[in-house]
Structure 1
């Protein structure tokens, strides 16, 4: 068990309510978790709403059964197949009993996951010409998707949902009402028995998404009259394994599936291939489980149910445990304040943490600085990951939650999409407003230490940030010297340092050959990067007169690649994705190039060239917003944001001094992958934050803004080894407006005509 963080506060009187973990005693639980969840060593896992974790006993016992018995395809008649059929029948009944569902009133259909269960219901209703779909604003994306098959749809609040249920049914109309048992955004819970409002509406049906709810709460379907017609389940949310779902169908509503046209293998009693005639099987599950179900996963489900009961006793115990932990963590987060009294966390909840009937163990929030400016949730998640804390961030597959709690208007969402923001990207703050949130969710094996680890992390990195003041620096004309010029011919690979005494040309997109090539994944077509493939740091490119020479680390393994492959017929045009943008590039066709990269990066890959005359990529818009004179679009090669990046050695030295205070390992300037590294006796650390323009070799450059940093700065550029000290230290001292910043982006103010730079050039800082 991890050592408790050295932190207590005024809310520690709530700690005794959670320290017993809702089970037996703390000593038992510590030993149990250490033995059954060894994967949690040095990890704070707070994404149980995504999937909870499986105990190793589940894997061992499941594996033992597979090794001891022979299981065949359940559609066959062999002894092995009949054994499978008997086991499936027993487990189907066992799952119904788990939810107190009488098999006389309900049937259970095994599917891939809750989304597949929801889609299965939609396939039945889509055949109707006139049906209305009413879904909760708290619905998961998968539930919202059914509206595309409906004649009309409505997105309703919980109060509007109940009101609509109580209105008289329209004549000749069929309505499907859908809502979640628990919002996967805020954790607010909604009762399954809203169906009582539908009594008397003969052509109204109910779809209940129980996936998030049943992970930490029991589901009771013992009253079939007031239970939903269709209930969707994902078992990995409850047990961690297997990856399997189910649809629980109330038999009185099963007739809707008679409209479903598709049938798969094993679902028909009789069939003629040459004419439109078929007869479905009688049992609900028999005619809806298309093809061979994942029967090995069904077998695992039996062990999962047994082991959870053996370890935790009941779902009521898990519910009590997670509710107590959630309340404790909520109270802690709620009371975190900056020195000026401003709250650190804005928490989004419609439930009550005093009442587990209305609130599940989910806390959804965003973090802001003492100036009220939001911290980007992507940056928060990246830093948390470096500290071993696993959380979820973004829109959380709950667009209604984002609209309601973040207060994003439909027109804003459309505007942001047109500007390039899509689900899952890193654009977490747009026009000063978050695009999503951070979500912490607790599970059966969560501990108080997990909660305290998160609190300690937020206190360490997000309270009372210090921001440099422009007036700290003298506004006098200064000069410095460029002591290093680097280009990165292959994006995300090692640099090529321009030799001293060599004059290097500047092109419209930046330094010649900088980020001109990239390594492309042969399967996905995406550009590889160091964050995913740290071995890329060991690829050493060198520019010669007409070739790019590529060496693997310090070996004799070298290939030579023509700089202009198109002119020699050695490349074909392809499309690729770089930094989330789709581009056209030239793919090298020589087998030896593919063999080189595939061998050393250990992933199927090869080399591609981004044509130097292309204007498909432009400097990022957020940089243009920082400086009025940076309003003209600036072409870039494959650099992330701008044509040039400047690093001050004084700032690197200051960072190393801060790293040394924690006995960390000092870094070299090359971890920041800048083009110009400058130094000078009069330079102060970080004063470049306030520069507006500089002059190099009699040419004026605009300082376009600070470089946003990710955990790629943790990679040693000579060895590929990871060291979290640089990013962690920057996170403490170099955050502004929720971003971690280091280095300055530059752009040339005038079109480059015969502009050359060399190591030793003076750089003048304009007033």
Structure 2
């Protein structure tokens, strides 16, 4: 894959030719300081990573953190509300930081005040609550709240506060604002002093368009009146996105309110922002709630309160995060030292964005269709009108949009970090993507909410892909993204015919014959169970276990040998009717994300296969690890011995380790963990296994187990209702109790993957490899590929299951379960063949379960599906029942 990417790199727009064609020549980097050296010394943690979400949060440099830590180690900073020496040092340092902030924005304490907040959102809320609104009355007009529709959610949310004060809100579209600008001044009553507030972003966090800063003065002076309403207009300039990569001169553009978030500029600290307030507005602001430090005097017994005279002290309720404020000094120092100032950052980041925009715009499919659709109101002609943000959707050659969640998944395979969705900017998302208000409501009704991965509804996209550059971004970052688009979409082998696999030459075999060659793993520690066996592991004892192993059902190689005639085998054809549906393989995964444990017969509990996903590995913070974060999890092989009631864990280079299936002291070790947003009660399996895992991974890890007396109920998903009178319970699985995949579906995917590319090369994927990647519990030998997605219910022996729907695959299927190495081809091919929805396998849930007697799943057991459309069993008297192969 690496050589393939390098080869395609020659197809990229030449950066040098691009720069040479610009007039004046575009700036890149920061003068004598080599950008590559800066990345290596300050952002070594980015090695191998392409980070393109700087509009979400930029990254802090190493020297900033080092400088700040040194400051803390050498000085003692106390609470600034106290009067001792250390507190005075803190107070003075904070005041110095306020001056430094204002200097960064080319203004002083004479014109602006700095109110520290928890972020720009908190600053916006402060304005909404403190603005001198005049309510509308039956016979009198009042204030208006007006905002550009291309505003962040946090600005739009201000209308709820205005509404509580009986102040109407008026959204204004960007195109309408431009008409107002062209129309010029609107006659209005200059004597009217009704206060109105207009909010707009200096830079759209959706498209990166930069709206004219001149609007500030024009609206304040009456040259532009957003809604032709007489009165005095104040302007809130949302600068959070803009100032992350550009200088803002408040001595020229004197907005009344300017909210900012510092992590957008420095990456650290988070949770700290500021509201810059023009001092001419300060006397108008209203103070409601007051907290510690904001009162000059007050009485507890009556309504007597005198606020502090300083606007900052008046509105900074409680003790501000003073250490984080002190960290800002080091942020400004480091940024200035590394870049030479925000103007250099502006030029550098715009150059990268303009180049990437030009390169993306030039990409075409062989039929001439564009590869991407870029959502922008500018042509990326100047940093005055466009920030370093590119918003796009990837298209198929037919023009259909490829869902953003699929692009995100593919990007992560190349370790490219970007952002998808609507970016907390529904107004811009609707305007650029053509989503009506009715569509937004309909999308919500069918289950789509902000931040999820539902990217296509009724053929219409619900969001897009955003990349954004920061001061440490490089040309290599931009070109890595461009190569990703070229390799994954423009030059993908989608649509090519898949050669049939034949046995006509020595050394080749049919796809079906390969299935027959898969060995059935027989575990030595199998068991037979006497009557009275109880599937609750808490009540097991040795009297329930006999010494004999169960008789194995015929292995797949014997059972499937009569399913295909020799001509059918040779052609690799998937006939319409192969015979009965049977279980051909069974797997459980005792430790979540670790290797499979194959069995031929296994007891069933109320959570699924007994001990399936009962344990999981967590990091030092208690966060569950999966193979996307730690691919080497697949190299850990658990084995369960029910007779000895132990689990043996093995890994290459490590001594095997044993641990009991149940802990006697479990109740004393209860802790809480999270699985797919669900809180689960777990217990730590001890220091011994923790040390073993930590040694294997080279970082602190723990093994935890779900408490046996904890019940995690399944949520309603996939539009399915649970059967009456039953409550499905889950182990540490993500979605459902079982996952089933069908052999013909695997065969079809295998044929596509093993088809020759344009260079005649092959990368073979065996059936055993594919089975392990999809990590199913139950493998069946159905008749047609993907017919399982049409099933509504199935019966396996005496057990009945509801089919909840398809499994939406993530990037874990790209990980070779034998080596831990990634290969993107399998995800890409599945995405292409399944119309960009990477579905494979179906989820199952018990519809009813009788645990009063031993219950098992076994290889060779008959499977009886029920179709969704007809709700008719395949073995009903009126249906054509397949011929029996295994009784």
TM range (shorter): 0.7 to 0.9
Offset of residue 150 of structure 1: 0.8
Task: Identify which of 646, 661, 679 aligns with 2:742.
Answer: 646
Equivalences for 1:427-506 in 2 at 5 Å?
A: 427-463=454-490, 464-467=492-495, 475-478=575-578, 482-487=583-588, 495-499=596-600, 502=601
1:145 aligns with 2:157: yes
Question: Which 10-residue stretch deviates more, 31-40 or 47-56?
Answer: 31-40
Asked if structure 1 preserves the Cα contact closer than 8 Å seen for 2:134 and 2:194, the reply is no
Task: Identify which of 87, 103, 106 aligns with 2:109.
Answer: 103
Question: Deviation per CA, 1:556-599, whole angstroms, max 9, x where unpaired?
Answer: 2112399xxxxxxx99xx9998656x79x9x68xx688999999
Question: Which 10-residue stretch deviates more, 453-462 or 509-518?
Answer: 509-518
Work out the CA distance in 2 between the residues paired with 1:526 and 1:311. 35
Note closer, same or farther for the CA distance 1:24–1:359 as it changes in structure 2 (3 Å cut).
closer
Question: Deviation per CA, 1:137-171, whole angstroms, max 9, x where unpaired?
Answer: 11111111111111321221124347499574796
Equivalences for 1:675-714 in 2 at 5 Å?
A: 675-677=777-779, 688-689=785-786, 707-714=807-814
Asked if structure 1 preserves the Cα contact closer than 8 Å seen for 2:657 and 2:689, the reply is no
The answer for the alignment partner of 1:723 in structure 2 is 821
Question: Which 10-residue stretch deviates more, 207-216 or 367-376?
Answer: 367-376
Task: Identify which of 179, 201, 221 aligns with 1:180.
Answer: 201
Offset of residue 209 of structure 1: 0.7
Work out the CA distance in 2 between the residues paired with 1:604 and 1:261. 48
Question: Deviation per CA, 1:29-87, whole angstroms, max 9, x where unpaired?
Answer: 32233222222222211111112222222222222322333333222222222222322
Equivalences for 1:328-343 in 2 at 5 Å?
A: 328-343=355-370
Note closer, same or farther for the CA distance 1:214–1:389 as it changes in structure 2 (3 Å cut).
same
Work out the CA distance in 1 between the residues paired with 2:402 and 2:828. 11
Offset of residue 474 of structure 1: 6.1
Work out the CA distance in 1 between the residues paired with 2:704 and 2:246. 44
Q: TM-score, normalised by structure 1?
A: 0.80
Question: Deviation per CA, 1:328-370, whole angstroms, max 9, x where unpaired?
Answer: 1001111222222222211111123002211111000111222
Asked if structure 2 preserves the Cα contact closer than 8 Å seen for 1:322 and 1:446, the reply is yes
Note closer, same or farther for the CA distance 1:551–1:407 as it changes in structure 2 (3 Å cut).
farther
Task: Identify which of 8, 11, 15 aligns with 2:10.
Answer: 8
Offset of residue 528 of structure 1: 8.2
Note closer, same or farther for the CA distance 1:5–1:94 as it changes in structure 2 (3 Å cut).
farther
Asked if structure 2 preserves the Cα contact closer than 8 Å seen for 1:45 and 1:390, the reply is yes
Work out the CA distance in 1 between the residues paired with 2:447 and 2:846. 26
The answer for the alignment partner of 1:617 in structure 2 is 716
Work out the CA distance in 2 between the residues paired with 1:403 and 1:518. 44
1:157 aligns with 2:173: yes
The answer for the alignment partner of 2:213 in structure 1 is 192
Asked if structure 1 preserves the Cα contact closer than 8 Å seen for 2:234 and 2:256, the reply is yes
Work out the CA distance in 2 between the residues paired with 1:118 and 1:482. 59
Work out the CA distance in 2 between the residues paired with 1:692 and 1:204. 59
Greater Rg by CA? 2
Work out the CA distance in 1 between the residues paired with 2:121 and 2:789. 52
Asked if structure 2 preserves the Cα contact closer than 8 Å seen for 1:395 and 1:436, the reply is yes
Asked if structure 2 preserves the Cα contact closer than 8 Å seen for 1:593 and 1:606, the reply is no
Offset of residue 452 of structure 1: 0.9
Note closer, same or farther for the CA distance 1:166–1:286 as it changes in structure 2 (3 Å cut).
farther
Asked if structure 2 preserves the Cα contact closer than 8 Å seen for 1:551 and 1:559, the reply is no
Asked if structure 2 preserves the Cα contact closer than 8 Å seen for 1:379 and 1:710, the reply is no
Asked if structure 2 preserves the Cα contact closer than 8 Å seen for 1:215 and 1:238, the reply is yes
Equivalences for 1:598-677 in 2 at 5 Å?
A: 602=702, 606-607=706-707, 617-619=716-718, 640=735, 644-647=740-743, 650=747, 667=769, 669-677=771-779
Work out the CA distance in 1 between the residues paired with 2:250 and 2:742. 64
Question: Which 10-residue stretch deviates more, 294-303 or 663-672?
Answer: 663-672
Equivalences for 1:347-386 in 2 at 5 Å?
A: 347-386=374-413
The answer for the alignment partner of 1:35 in structure 2 is 41
Offset of residue 379 of structure 1: 2.5
Work out the CA distance in 2 between the residues paired with 1:23 and 1:533. 34
Work out the CA distance in 1 between the residues paired with 2:306 and 2:795. 81
The answer for the alignment partner of 2:558 in structure 1 is none
Asked if structure 2 preserves the Cα contact closer than 8 Å seen for 1:232 and 1:247, the reply is yes
The answer for the alignment partner of 2:518 in structure 1 is none
Question: Which 10-residue stretch deviates more, 244-253 or 735-744?
Answer: 735-744
Offset of residue 220 of structure 1: 1.1
Offset of residue 710 of structure 1: 0.7
The answer for the alignment partner of 1:306 in structure 2 is 333
Asked if structure 2 preserves the Cα contact closer than 8 Å seen for 1:374 and 1:738, the reply is no
Asked if structure 2 preserves the Cα contact closer than 8 Å seen for 1:714 and 1:722, the reply is no
Work out the CA distance in 2 between the residues paired with 1:299 and 1:692. 58
Offset of residue 470 of structure 1: 10
Asked if structure 1 preserves the Cα contact closer than 8 Å seen for 2:195 and 2:233, the reply is yes
- Secondary structure at 1:334's aligned position in 2? helix
Equivalences for 1:259-298 in 2 at 5 Å?
A: 259-298=286-325
Note closer, same or farther for the CA distance 1:393–1:615 as it changes in structure 2 (3 Å cut).
closer
Question: Which 10-residue stretch deviates more, 271-280 or 182-191?
Answer: 271-280
Offset of residue 679 of structure 1: 7.2
The answer for the alignment partner of 1:566 in structure 2 is none
Offset of residue 250 of structure 1: 0.5
The answer for the alignment partner of 1:565 in structure 2 is none
Asked if structure 2 preserves the Cα contact closer than 8 Å seen for 1:21 and 1:447, the reply is no
The answer for the alignment partner of 1:739 in structure 2 is 836
Question: Which 10-residue stretch deviates more, 123-132 or 388-397?
Answer: 123-132
Question: Deviation per CA, 1:81-114, whole angstroms, max 9, x where unpaired?
Answer: 2222322222212221221224212112222221
The aligned length equals 726
- Secondary structure at 1:478's aligned position in 2? coil
Asked if structure 2 preserves the Cα contact closer than 8 Å seen for 1:185 and 1:396, the reply is yes
- Secondary structure at 2:144's aligned position in 1? strand
Aligned-residue RMSD, C-alpha: 4.9
Note closer, same or farther for the CA distance 1:755–1:309 as it changes in structure 2 (3 Å cut).
closer
Question: Deviation per CA, 1:287-326, whole angstroms, max 9, x where unpaired?
Answer: 1222222222222222222232232223222212222211
Task: Identify which of 223, 247, 268 aligns with 2:275.
Answer: 247
Equivalences for 1:542-581 in 2 at 5 Å?
A: 554-560=656-662
- Secondary structure at 2:199's aligned position in 1? strand
Offset of residue 453 of structure 1: 0.6
Asked if structure 2 preserves the Cα contact closer than 8 Å seen for 1:361 and 1:442, the reply is yes
Offset of residue 11 of structure 1: 3.6
The answer for the alignment partner of 2:548 in structure 1 is none
Structure 1, unmatched stretches of 5+, are: 563-569, 622-633
Note closer, same or farther for the CA distance 1:388–1:516 as it changes in structure 2 (3 Å cut).
closer
Note closer, same or farther for the CA distance 1:701–1:222 as it changes in structure 2 (3 Å cut).
closer
Asked if structure 2 preserves the Cα contact closer than 8 Å seen for 1:510 and 1:644, the reply is no
